A and B are shown apart, each in its own frame.
Chain A
Amino acid sequence: MNVEISGVTESMSHRMVASRKPELNSSATVANGKVALLARLRQGDERAFDELVTRHHSALIRMAMGYVADREVAEEVVQDTWMVVIEGLGRFEGRSSLRTWIFGIMIHKAKDRGVREKRHTTFSSFESADDDGDDATDPSWFHQSGEWAGHWAFPPQPWDDQTPEKLLASQQAITAMNRAIEALPRTLKDVLILRDVEGVEAKEVCNILKITETNLYVRLHRARERVRQAVEAYLVGRKPTM
Chain B
Amino acid sequence: MAQEEGQPIFSEVTCQEIAQWASAYLDEHVEDERKRHIALHLAICAGCETYVKQIATVRDVVGILPKAIEQPSDSQRLRQAFVARARRLPASR
Contact = CB atoms under 8 A, between A and B. Distances in A.
Interface in A187-242: 192, 196-197, 199, 202, 213, 217, 220-221, 224-225, 227-228, 231-232
A156 B85 CA distance: 56
A176 to B, nearest CB: 11
Contact of B60 (A6, A61, A90, A221): A6
A23 interface: no
* Interface size class, chain A: 35 or more
Interface string A70-82: 0000010011001
Given A147-B8, A220-B23, A50 B72 contact: no
Contacts of A44: 82-83, 85-87, 91
A35 to B, nearest CB: 11
A11 B27 contact: yes
Given A137-B20, A155-B46, A159-B57, A54 B69 contact: yes
B17 interface: yes
B61 A58 contact: no
Interface in B24-62: 24-29, 39, 42-62
Contacts, number: 185
Contact of B47 (A61, A89, A156): A156
Contacts of A75: 72-73
A18 interface: no
A147 B2 contact: yes
Nearest to A227: B58
Contacts of A6: 56, 60
Main secondary structure on A side of the interface with B: helix
Residue among A78, A192, A221 with max Cβ neighbours from chain B (10 Å): A221
A231 B28 CA distance: 24
A7 B78 contact: no
Contacts of B46: 1, 155
Interface stretch (A26-34, A109-117, A123-131, A161-169): A161-169
Contacts of A132: none
Given A57-B72, A196-B63, A224-B58, A202 B27 contact: yes
25 contacts: A1-B42, A1-B43, A3-B52, A8-B26, A39-B91, A42-B91, A46-B79, A49-B82, A53-B75, A54-B71, A75-B73, A79-B78, A86-B81, A86-B85, A87-B85, A89-B85, A136-B20, A147-B8, A151-B8, A155-B15, A167-B61, A177-B65, A178-B65, A217-B23, A225-B55
